[in-house]
Chains A and B, each alone.
Chain A
Amino acid sequence: QKEVEQNSGPLSVPEGAIASLNCTYSDRGSQSFFWYRQYSGKSPELIMSIYSNGDKEDGRFTAQLNKASQYVSLLIRDSQPSDSATYLCAVNMGVSGNTPLVFGKGTRLSVIA
């Protein structure tokens, strides 16, 4: 049974700062990793996917993957109040990239103006 662990927060950062969100996973064989953002009362929306060790950047977001440590992180630069949401880390249940996802409980981020 795959497990994904996240600090539930809340994580509070001032506007303009870097927010750092962390996630660990239990299955060393996991291949695909995702960060979803979920606003209160809304459904999750994908913001980043990462499959290889190292960093992947997309605008203000950077995902980092370290398979040896079974660790995934998400950095949000120049945090904005609109980034305040719950961030969900997810990995695929199977080896294939389009198998169901196992989610962590999410980290609640609050960006203070």
Chain B
Amino acid sequence: DTGVSQNPRHKITKRGQNVTFRCDPISEHNRLYWYRQTLGQGPEFLTYFQNEAQLEKSRLLSDRFSAERPKGSFSTLEIQRTEQGDSAMYLCASSSERQYSTFGSGTRLTVV
């Protein structure tokens, strides 16, 4: 068990570009969550999956954001036409039916 893995660790992009982040959950965890955290705030829920099904999306998730978990294993979060306000730490977490959420190390996005 190597924990929740996120890639890349850091991403700097120009405004208007598209970016994609990847999350590999703990292998036996069927639930996968995406959160966003800005400085001085707690993590804010974006979306989550049970296996390959996307169960809920936050109102924070604008049309420029899309997430997938095609085979119920890894997940990707794509942001299209990035804006400076998208700069944040993007956190992925996973859990099983009876376990608490375990977080990955996060991807820090900077939009310049």
Contact = CB atoms under 8 A, between A and B. Distances in A.
B42 A105 contact: yes
Contact of B44 (A8, A97, A103): A103
B103 A97 contact: no
Interface in B32-69: 33, 35, 40-45, 48, 56
Given A103-B42, A103-B44, A43 B103 contact: yes
B106 A98 contact: no
Contact of A105 (B41, B91, B102, B103): B41
B28 to A, nearest CB: 13
Interface residues of B, number: 24
Contacts of B110: none
Contacts of A88: 42-43
A100 B42 contact: no
A98 B97 contact: yes
Interface stretch (A44-52, A56-64, A73-81): A44-52
Nearest to B31: A98
Question: Interface residues of B: mostly helix, strand, loop or mixed?
Answer: loop
B100 A100 contact: no
A37 B56 CA distance: 26
Given A101-B45, A106-B42, A43 B95 contact: no
A111 B17 CA distance: 42
Interface string A84-109: 00001010010001111111111000
Interface in A22-39: 34, 36
Given A4-B42, A43-B91, A98-B99, 12 more contacts: A43-B103, A46-B101, A88-B43, A90-B42, A93-B45, A98-B31, A100-B48, A100-B56, A101-B35, A103-B42, A104-B42, A105-B41
26 contacts: A4-B42, A8-B40, A36-B103, A42-B105, A43-B91, A43-B105, A44-B43, A44-B103, A46-B101, A88-B43, A90-B42, A97-B98, A98-B96, A98-B97, A98-B98, A98-B99, A100-B35, A100-B45, A100-B48, A101-B33, A101-B35, A101-B45, A103-B43, A104-B42, A105-B42, A106-B42
